[in-house]
Structure 1
């Protein structure tokens, strides 16, 4: 099992990255200019679930590999893939954006020479969440990169709305595609031990999202949440259902965000209190504890931002499922042989197609997409969801 084994259905990208890693190994051995094909900044683009961050981490493993190929067995590969390599930093935005202060600190750290590895590697997931100030701070580092530092950025696309033109122009772009269902099913069976029938079903309804397929295959609650979302289109039978189903959708997202946050939040609070001297008896402990209020308040702010992000991500996932259903209705109504997004709900899609006109189905689909956009613009989730479901009811 090499580091590339986790990169699903991306043969072309793996070929490019493997050659670059080999060139990087030559540069480490013989010095700058000894090989071509390696650059200091990369941009991984592709639709959600295509494995942007997985490919970036695999590439980082190959760069740190003692054999320059991503063998998956040497300490460089294993520690990178486990997230414990001292010279590989993974930036995962927990809030709504990546701040300029966080990026400046990261750039300063990245300017150092590698301590134990071959390269200093910085992986930035969701680079589209960089604030303007953070993007400018990163741009300076990308324009004048340290000799042995590599930046790996991940974003949905190379559109200026996602990544600024100035940063994109200094990166080598690696475009990933939606993995085919059979490749997703294969990795679920081989890596996660899922039985073939469940793996095939999860791959067929995940819209090419590897992480989503894994959750559906292994988490009963995820399957239940998906079913509750897909009941909405045909479950709107009277005006009161608009508010009932909207409330259920929002509460489900709030519950999931709370479940993911509570235990982690408490661990973080206790760790911070301990670091600030809580429970200590030594000299100066009392004054240190008195000064901890500001640090605790900042931690609470970050935790609240993370919970908000989790809730919005959960709602967005539900909206993607809804949009997929209305697309299936259009497919069913047109008589096309295109594959359904939700093949296990094909009968529901055909029922809806016989009851709705194509125009009303499109209005419903547009309402779902407008709701996703409203959530990105910080509209309160309950208001955005109720407006959407109202349109879904009246068509």
Structure 2
């Protein structure tokens, strides 16, 4: 399959990028060197950036059904002429950007371009963005910058005005379900359910389709919300949700550490049970250091809780759909709980439903402020009592 086949629901953008990549053979100047790829969470903006990078540097332009070795290396993050800056931290540091700039000035080793990808460029503070600005405005002749952000408005105007902006759409449920079936091997009924519950978020849909416990936790959250009647229910549910998020994050990080260790051994030509040479021990142990693991768990726990807020909002979205008799045109996200949601739509007024969406949005802002997650969710569920 070509490098573009994993890009879900973005056909017009893929067609445009294919055309640009094809044109570079006879008109190198036709390729813009600074790009801003924007799309809501789960739209696949980082995957699109990697696919574009692979197409730019690979001799087959990423079109062959059997991807070239270069394409495989780009997608695996091991190709020397493509650098990706991703972060688990709240902000991208100024020193990280300075290192990228130094890299961007180097000639590519084997490719026509050196490509620099920055995921979540919206996490840069203004002073960090100012360091990047000159390079974006006047890139080295051999360098292409691919910046990713949820929305162009999340990036400083000085950066936005100096890049070619690409806006991604939210993939349809049909497109996401097709991706899960064709490329992940998920059975069609589960793929359709996962796509619907994920509301266009490809990564979350894949998570629901491949990790049963994640889907169980989501179902428990919706049922818990629909059975909230007393403040004591709210406190118990908050504790259960926060604990489940930490457990899910810990399991995921532990799996990632194992994969990182396996990859480290493979890169260094070591067998699975072979002793790590002394000169590599420091780098190997850094993969599973307590501080590193704790930071990753903290960050991922916040992501899981943010996903839970989206799930809660989907319930009140469904309430609004039923209250406005729009089920036939808009559909329900939480079909499995239709009866209970219908009862809730009778108990709540339209204003009540909107107010609860505002409470959820306020909790999301509190979560981003790094306060006490347990207190935030206790306050949230108390505010959602009906």
Same fold (TM over 0.5): yes
Structure 1 counterpart of 2:83: 89
The one of 29, 35, 46 aligned to 2:39: 46
Structure 2 counterpart of 1:18: 18
Deviation at 1:280, TM superposition (A): 11
The one of 234, 237, 253 aligned to 1:245: 237
User: Tell me, which stretches of 5 or more residues in structure 1 are unaligned?
Assistant: 272-278
Structure 1 counterpart of 2:270: none
Question: What secondary structure does 1:150 align onto?
Answer: strand
User: Tell me, which stretches of 5 or more residues in structure 2 are unaligned?
Assistant: 265-274
Aligned counterparts of 1:50 and 1:328: Cα–Cα separation in 2: 22
Aligned counterparts of 1:266 and 1:192: Cα–Cα separation in 2: 21
Structure 2 counterpart of 1:215: 207
Structure 2 counterpart of 1:176: 168
Structure 1 counterpart of 2:98: 104
Closer/same/farther in 2, CA of residues 197 and 11 from structure 1, 3 Å limit: same
The answer to whether structure 1 residue 320 and structure 2 residue 321 are counterparts is: no
Q: Deviations over 1:344-369 (max 9, x none)?
A: 22222212112222222222111111
Structure 2 counterpart of 1:274: none
Q: Deviations over 1:117-167 (max 9, x none)?
A: 2211111111111123321222122122111111111111000xx211111
Question: What secondary structure does 1:26 align onto?
Answer: coil
Question: What secondary structure does 2:13 align onto?
Answer: helix
Aligned counterparts of 2:375 and 2:130: Cα–Cα separation in 1: 34
Structure 2 counterpart of 1:387: 379
Preserved contact between residue 37 and residue 167 of structure 2 (Cα < 8 Å): yes
Deviation at 1:341, TM superposition (A): 2.2
Closer/same/farther in 2, CA of residues 122 and 226 from structure 1, 3 Å limit: same
Aligned counterparts of 1:267 and 1:368: Cα–Cα separation in 2: 35
Describe how 1:86-235 pairs up with structure 2 within 5 A. Answer: 86-159=80-153, 162-235=154-227
TM-score of the pair, normalised by structure 1 = 0.86
The answer to whether structure 1 residue 370 and structure 2 residue 340 are counterparts is: no
Deviation at 1:331, TM superposition (A): 0.9
Aligned counterparts of 1:80 and 1:204: Cα–Cα separation in 2: 31
Aligned counterparts of 1:267 and 1:3: Cα–Cα separation in 2: 23
Question: What secondary structure does 1:231 align onto?
Answer: helix
Preserved contact between residue 315 and residue 334 of structure 2 (Cα < 8 Å): yes
Q: Quote the RMSD (CA, aligned, Å).
A: 2.8
Preserved contact between residue 4 and residue 62 of structure 2 (Cα < 8 Å): no
Closer/same/farther in 2, CA of residues 333 and 239 from structure 1, 3 Å limit: same
Preserved contact between residue 181 and residue 203 of structure 1 (Cα < 8 Å): yes
Question: What secondary structure does 1:25 align onto?
Answer: coil
Deviation at 1:16, TM superposition (A): 1.4
Aligned counterparts of 1:6 and 1:280: Cα–Cα separation in 2: 36
Aligned counterparts of 1:266 and 1:58: Cα–Cα separation in 2: 26
TM-score of the pair, normalised by structure 2 = 0.88
Question: What secondary structure does 1:12 align onto?
Answer: helix
